[in-house]
């Protein structure tokens, strides 16, 4: 075995132990974390579910998605706590009076100095303020500058830039041969017809693979006119990555390599 | 063009007009500029006959042609990626493992039986290559996927290399390979070491080995 054996003194404070484990130091402070992501801790730390009770004030100031609160717990006390998620790469990020929107399943924990809000984009959460948060990704996260078009499954989040829009590439489906292709389904689809397009200034976070993390419900948005996805569950089935284009047979087609 | 490794699981490729690139379908992560991704029905280079050959040989994999001008990021399934630059020699690799390769490379299908007859076929079965494997020849870069990290083991005429068939990823150069067996009575009674079959590569070149015995 390589690597040092850690004890409470040598564990890093608010830093990665290895690429897959993050250590949070609590000094009578609080952290929000997703349920079930703590793997070990030293010291005396309480984990309290968010509900009605003494945490109400904290929840009111830094947690703005009341119906989604059951997926989160507040860790408070003193000690060191290790966070990990199914051997995915884990990293911490510092926000300074900024905003960052992240896929709900990727966010593991955050400091209460940040406030968490649901994004208008379904399935995403936005963090606003100053503080540190911990996020998991499949493979190391790569930061890119707009303008860029990103595969929906590779997107982890974005900071400081306007919301993305959908971009469709199906130029090869035009023209005579393209029409034939679309009519018969022969030739198949490249699987890259649909991207998220980012423009403007900011940073886009990508993960290095197209394997998504399990989606976390972001809670229900109010059912009222003008609210996208209002009243429906924020996380919808993820199976359908790209919209079905004419002449496309879906999974079967890819399997047969047509 | 060239492939640039961003991290162990992601590569960046700059595409310029007039240059073509093949990649596995659905492996694009992001791109800048104007790049088109066209599904490639024939599964690579050559005409319809090449396609039929690949289908028969079960070496066809859904590929797409990448053209245009811009920068493309590739990655797939969280697999580790190894970029191999070829300078005139031939790379042998399973088609499933190909993430992307430059259009300047000549793609072919090789019958393993042609490298050592029946033993070649047995070897293909054991290493999971099947009866056929894909060859890429010429000058250009190839990105190969592997489960776990990849190490490159050089092969010199004096020093043949033995590889676990399940950890074998690809090899290039002037290499002869044969399956060496170390079967004894222990294997027959189910007390074997689990390493009864090994791939012995000799000649001059390099073999790529993944840090896992799991197939893609």
Cβ of B76 and A189 within 8 Å?
Answer: no
| Alpha-carbon separation of residue A193 from A55, A151, A166, A169 (angstroms) | 46, 9, 10, 5
Other Cβ atoms less than 10 A from the Cβ of A255: the count is: 10
Provide, as residue numbers in chain B, all residues whose Cβ is less than 8 Å from the Cβ of A206: 10, 29-30, 73
Is any Cβ of chain B less than 8 angstroms from the Cβ of A139?
yes
Distance CA B216, CA B195 (A): 20
Q: What percentage of chain B has pLDDT greater than the value 70?
A: 73
Distance CA B30, CA A154 (A): 8
Residue to substitute from B28, B29, B148, interface A, most A β-carbons within 10 A:
B29
Other Cβ atoms less than 10 A from the Cβ of B191: the count is: 9
Cβ of A210 and B36 within 8 Å?
Answer: no
Backbone angles phi, psi at B109, to 5 degrees: -120, 130
Cβ of B28 and A192 within 8 Å?
Answer: yes
Place B169 in a pLDDT band, splitting at 50, 70 and 90. Answer: confident
Q: How far is B55 from chain A (nearest CA, A)?
A: 9
**What tokens appear for B59 in the block?**
């070496």
| Alpha-carbon separation of residue B110 from A45, A57, A167, B143, B178 (angstroms) | 61, 69, 40, 19, 15
Is the preceding peptide bond at A147 cis, omega within 30 degrees of 0? yes
Distance CA B2, CA B71 (A): 11
Distance CA A253, CA A132 (A): 44
Provide, as residue numbers in chain B, all residues whose Cβ is less than 8 Å from the Cβ of A245: none
Distance CA A152, CA A96 (A): 27
Compute and round to an integer the Cα radius of gyration of chain B.
Answer: 18
Collapsed DSSP state (helix, strand, coil) of residue B76: coil
Q: How far is A152 from chain B (nearest CA, A)?
A: 8
Give residue-wise pLDDT tens across range B39-55. Answer: 776 656 666 666 666 66
Tell me the pairing of strands A21-34 and A72-83: antiparallel
Place B106 in a pLDDT band, splitting at 50, 70 and 90. Answer: confident
Residues 6+ apart with CB under 8 A from B37: A169, A190, A191, A192, B28, B64, B65, B66
Q: Which residue has the tokens 């000649």?
A: B203
Provide, as residue numbers in chain B, all residues whose Cβ is less than 8 Å from the Cβ of A151: 28-30
What would the mean pLDDT of B112-132 be, rounded to a whole number?
Answer: 62
Which range scores top for mean pLDDT: A145-154, B106-115, B123-132? A145-154
CB pairs under 8 A between A and B: 105
Tell whether the model's pLDDT for residue A134 goes beyond 80: yes
Cβ of B7 and A140 within 8 Å?
Answer: yes
Is any Cβ of chain B less than 8 angstroms from the Cβ of A258?
yes
Is A225 exposed, middle or buried, given 0-12, 13-18 or 19+ CB atoms closer than 10 A? exposed
**What tokens appear for A228 in the block?**
């996208």
Is any Cβ of chain B less than 8 angstroms from the Cβ of A148?
yes
Is any Cβ of chain B less than 8 angstroms from the Cβ of A154?
yes
Cβ of A172 and B36 within 8 Å?
Answer: yes
What would the mean pLDDT of A194-214 be, rounded to a whole number?
Answer: 81
Distance CA B63, CA B22 (A): 6
- Is residue A77 within 8 A of residue A107, CB to CB? The reply is no
Q: How far is A23 from chain B (nearest CA, A)?
A: 23
Cβ of A190 and B9 within 8 Å?
Answer: no
Provide, as residue numbers in chain A, all residues whose Cβ is less than 8 Å from the Cβ of B38: 172, 190
- Is residue A190 within 8 A of residue A132, CB to CB? The reply is no
Tell whether the model's pLDDT for residue A128 goes beyond 80: yes
Distance CA A175, CA B117 (A): 48
Q: Which residues pair with B174 in a beta bridge?
A: B204
What would the mean pLDDT of A138-165 be, rounded to a whole number?
Answer: 85
């Amino acid at each position: 075995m390589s690597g040092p054996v850690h004890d409470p003194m040598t564990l890093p404070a608010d830093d990665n132990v290895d690429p897959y484990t993050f250590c949070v130091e609590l000094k009578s402070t609080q952290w929000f974390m997703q349920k079930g992501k703590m793997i070990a801790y030293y010291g005396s730390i309480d984990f309290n579910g968010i509900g009605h009770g003494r945490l109400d004030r904290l929840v009111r100031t830094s947690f703005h998605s009341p119906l989604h609160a059951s997926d989160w717990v507040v860790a408070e006390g003193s000690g060191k706590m290790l966070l990990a998620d199914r051997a995915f790469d884990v990293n911490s990020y510092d926000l300074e009076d900024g905003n960052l929107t992240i896929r709900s399943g990727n966010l593991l924990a955050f400091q209460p100095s940040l406030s968490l809000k649901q994004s208008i984009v379904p399935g995403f959460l936005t963090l606003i303020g100053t503080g540190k948060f911990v996020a998991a990704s499949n493979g190391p996260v790569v930061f890119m500058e707009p303008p860029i078009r990103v595969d929906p499954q590779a997107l982890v989040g974005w900071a400081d830039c306007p919301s993305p829009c959908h971009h469709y590439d199906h130029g090869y489906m035009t023209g005579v041969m393209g029409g034939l292709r679309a009519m018969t389904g022969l030739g198949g689809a490249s699987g890259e017809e649909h991207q998220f397009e980012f423009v403007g200034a900011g940073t886009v976070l990508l993960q290095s693979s197209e394997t998504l993390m399990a989606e976390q419900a972001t809670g229900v948005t109010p059912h009222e006119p003008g609210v996208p996805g209002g009243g429906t569950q924020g996380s919808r089935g993820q199976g359908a990555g790209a919209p079905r284009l004419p002449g496309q047979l879906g999974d079967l087609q890819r399997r047969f390599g047509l | 063009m060239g492939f640039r490794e961003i991290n162990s699981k992601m590569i960046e490729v700059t595409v310029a007009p007039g240059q073509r690139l093949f990649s596995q379908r659905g492996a694009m992560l992001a791109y800048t500029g104007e790049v088109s991704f066209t599904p490639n029905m024939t599964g690579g280079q050559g005409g319809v006959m090449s396609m039929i050959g690949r289908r028969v040989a079960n070496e066809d994999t859904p590929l797409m042609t990448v053209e245009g001008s811009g920068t493309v990021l590739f990655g797939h399934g969280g697999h580790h990626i190894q970029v191999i630059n070829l300078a005139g020699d031939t790379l042998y690799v399973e088609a499933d493992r190909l993430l992307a390769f430059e259009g300047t490379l000549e793609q072919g299908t090789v019958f393993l039986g042609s490298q050592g007859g029946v033993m070649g076929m047995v070897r293909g079965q054991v290493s999971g290559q099947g009866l056929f494997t894909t060859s890429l020849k010429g000058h250009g870069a190839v990105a190969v996927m592997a489960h776990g990290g990849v190490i490159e083991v050089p092969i010199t005429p004096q020093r043949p290399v033995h590889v676990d068939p399940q950890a074998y990823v690809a090899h290039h150069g002037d290499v002869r390979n044969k399956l060496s067996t170390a079967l004894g009575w222990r294997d027959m009674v189910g007390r074997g070491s689990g390493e009864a079959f090994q791939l012995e590569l000799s000649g001059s070149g390099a073999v790529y080995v993944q840090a896992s015995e799991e197939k893609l």
